[in-house]
Structure 1
Amino acid sequence: MKIDRLLAIVILLINKRQVQAKELAGMFEVSVRTIYRDIEAINQAGIPIVTSQGAGGGISIMERFRLENKLLSADELAAITTALESVSSTYEVLHHGSALEKIRFLVSEEEMPEFRKKTEKWFVDISSWGESPVIKEKIRLLDEAADSTRAVSFTYVNREGQTGTRKVEPHTLV
């Protein structure tokens, strides 16, 4: 999605001095031409982007321009990262990886060692023992059903051992 890419480029440029268009194109799996169009859109939004040619050249935000990127504290970003990584142990969704990468872009280079220390300290593995591919597939299907507001049916066994079929509309997986 273009808006996600534009935001990610701005966040990346806030935290890095300079990036080459080719590197951005590879990172977002688009053409270099698309990156230059994105840079133009960012410029039109009022964020002054500077491009320099030749060896050592690249794309950067104008030196004196800074956006406030402290909407969340380093501790809050670490907590979100830990939670996403934990959920990812059971629930494999491609968006988790890109969300984690964007969060890491929000952490400055100076804060990165402390951030890593905090995020590597905890990992809550909520997956089943053995990480059953069958359970992961069921979770994926339930997620898909909730997103598309489809009902699912399954066999249910109550505490007395009686078996029955249930049809439900999943909203939240606990």
Structure 2
Amino acid sequence: MKIDRLLAMTVLLLNRERVSAKELAERFEVSIKTICRDMDTLSQSGIPVFAHQGTSGGFEIMKQYTISRQYLTFGEISSIVAAVKGMGTVLDDSTFASLNEKVKALLSKSDKQQSEQQGEGIVFDLNPWGQGPEARNKVNPLRRIIQVMSR
């Protein structure tokens, strides 16, 4: 369905700096001409898509542009909350609690009511059974090293 493809392209472009028409065509199994028409449609709808020509060319979205919460369903936000809670079971890091609160803030009032009625839902505890603080003591230093090396 075209609308699904357009939304998927928008999310992809928001998450990547630049994507070639060829890569988009292969990913969505359409022609390059269809990709160009889709980019025109996105531009006409108000999404700031820019085309760059040449060997390193492709499409990108203006860096300051963000997607509205309205594109995320209640189920998708609930899945994000479950994943963040799961990561919080392994990593002793306050950023996961903060991230969880920010993601929950994306919920509308009716979504929050639905969430409260359903309870906590599923949380994927990624911490191996019986290895509470010991696993964190192993994972956290590795995480810090990876962060330092990726700078």
Q: Which has the larger radius of gyration?
A: 1
